[in-house]
Chains A and B, each alone.
Chain A
């Protein structure tokens, strides 16, 4: 069972802004950096955000991340059809000595 909690789904029309939350605890998000991964259907996960709010080269600036206390969020502004995917937050957990993923959020573009 995941220790990071995300809403199961989120949706928006093209051009809208969508925000996904990720709730954790003091041993994971509260102590370590948060990352976000995008998983398009049938493909391997792709790193979207690292170190709370940094984008790897090639990731559009429509994607942004933030962290506060034991929670984090991913925002997608100017939603596009190709953003339809599953999104996972993740962080190292000091108590479990493990890398933990969120429950995942399916984003649908209406």
Chain B
């Protein structure tokens, strides 16, 4: 069965960097984009960006430009999220999620974009 397993929780000081891993199994790793989503306590879900594990192509939400980097290691079916210059506001649970499919639907060519499998989440705590 499809699984996304993330690395364990992290505690970091402000200004530091953190790297979270997401290891996929149960499907062809290079066939589906991986996205990252976070949720701070009491807040809603926030999309951070996506990566194509096959090509290495990626794109980030504007809010995180310059601070985020997504990489992958295809030999171990793993995608990494690295976030730098951490602030207390970055304290959140970080999720990786597999994009269900790519493409456009219907005569109006609506973009289909959804996540069918999620990792268990990684709590990153930023505190001095």
Chain A residues packing against B (C-beta within 8 Å): 2, 31-33, 35, 37, 39, 44-47, 50-51, 56, 88, 90-92, 94, 96-104
Contacts and interface: CB of A to CB of B under 8 A. Distances in A.
Interface in B95-122: 95, 97, 100, 105, 108, 110-116, 118-121
Main DSSP-derived SS at the B contact region: strand
Most buried by B among A39, A45, A88, A103: A45
B46 interface: yes
B25 to A, nearest CB: 16
B112 to A, nearest CB: 5
A39 B110 CA distance: 25
B111 A104 contact: no
B113 A33 contact: yes
A45 B112 contact: no
B44 A44 contact: no
B110 A101 contact: no
Contacts, number: 71
Nearest to A50: B114
A100 B112 CA distance: 13
Contact of A99 (B44, B47, B110, B116): B47
Interface size classification for chain B: 20 to 34
Contact of A45 (B45, B59, B61, B113): B45
Contacts of A32: 110-113
Given A31-B111, A47-B115, A56-B116, A96 B45 contact: no
B28 interface: no
Nearest to A45: B118
B62 interface: yes
B112 A44 contact: no
Contact of A88 (B45, B112, B121): B45
A102 B59 contact: no
Contacts of A88: 44-45
Interface string B48-73: 00100000000101100000000000
